[in-house]
Amino acid sequence: MKGYLAKKILEGLFTLFIVASVIFFLMHLAPGNPFMDEHSYQSESIEILKAHYGLDKPLWLQYLKFLKTLLFGDLGPSMSYENVNVSLIIKQAFPVSLKLGTLSFFLSILMGFCLSVCLVFGKNRYIKKIAWFTNSAYLALPSFVACVLLQYVFAIKLDLFPISGFYEFRHLILPALSLSLIPAGVIARLLKTKLEEVLKLPYTLSAKSKGIGPVRLFIFHLLPGAILPTLSYLGPLAATLITGSFACEKVFAIPGLGSWFVMSLNARDYPLIAGLTLFYTVFVVGFSLCVDLLMGFIDPKLKVKKI
């Protein structure tokens, strides 16, 4: 187990290095600079700003300085917001994205679980048809389209929820619901496929022949054998939802990491772009590692194969 854990940590560190390198060179190879839209600046002032942020130095020197600052955990100051550190922006925006992402995460699991049960165990053909249609609609509906539709129906027409903002729990319902639709559809498909496979296995047929009740059969026999593919999907999903959704936070005017990322791209704020991207990558790597360890405990054969 120690060897497996060390291997996954090294893989995660290497992934962070690759992502940091790629994002650095992509930012600097893109046309323009962080000060090109500041029409009030004279060319001399822009040159002074470039020198202040080290953008006048050779690219390889900027790259080494960038890696050095990351090594010491310093994300640097934002180029768009005076005297504001990138770490401070993340510290203030992350709790907002965390609340929205956590709610979306549990809604995804709940809706996907219920849909998969209806698809596999629904005895009424109309229930199955409705479940299939709902699942297909979830998968086909992009989150930004779902945001606009939910706003129009539940906020404008029915006036049941606020249309935007982040002030109380009610403001999170529509954005969380719009973020959870596609993940719920994926979870439902994964669970449905594996549940149908597990239902045909000898130990499941044996348990059914012994007269075990449907609830006990599902919890203790079907679910443990069908949950592994879903768990592998939940790690990256949790990281994606918790670190914010770009379109959703922008549509609902939620001041989370997603909104800041969109603003940083528009402003070509190099430190903020790099900081938010690496923060997202750390979450993806961390959640993936946790899921791998959890899957190893659930099914020790997987752990042995991966080592």
pLDDT given at position 304 = 46
- 270 located within any domain: no
Is residue 73 included in any domain, yes or no?
Answer: no
Which stretch of DSSP H or E encloses residue 158?
Answer: none
* Alpha carbons 296 and 235: distance in angstroms, whole number: 14
Domain membership flag for residue 24: no
pTM, to two decimals: 0.79
Question: What token pair was written down for 70?
Answer: 């990351």
Quick check: is 187 in a domain?
A: yes
Work out the number of other CB atoms within 10 angstroms of the CB of residue 304.
Answer: 10
Residue 128 lies in a domain: yes
pLDDT digits (tens, 9 = 90+) for 245-265: 777 888 888 888 888 888 887
Instruction: Give the orientation angle of helix 228-242 with respect to helix 86-121, to 10 degrees.
Output: 150
CATH code of residue 215:
1.10.3720.10
Count of the separate structural domains present in the chain:
1
- Distance of alpha carbon 270 from alpha carbon 267, whole angstroms: 9
Determine, yes or no, domain membership for 141.
yes
In a domain, 231, yes or no: yes
Structure confidence at residue 271 as a pLDDT band (50, 70, 90): confident
Q: Which residue has the higher pLDDT, 160 or 203?
A: 160
Expressed as residue numbers, the domain containing 141 is 94-265
Residue 307 has a pLDDT of 44
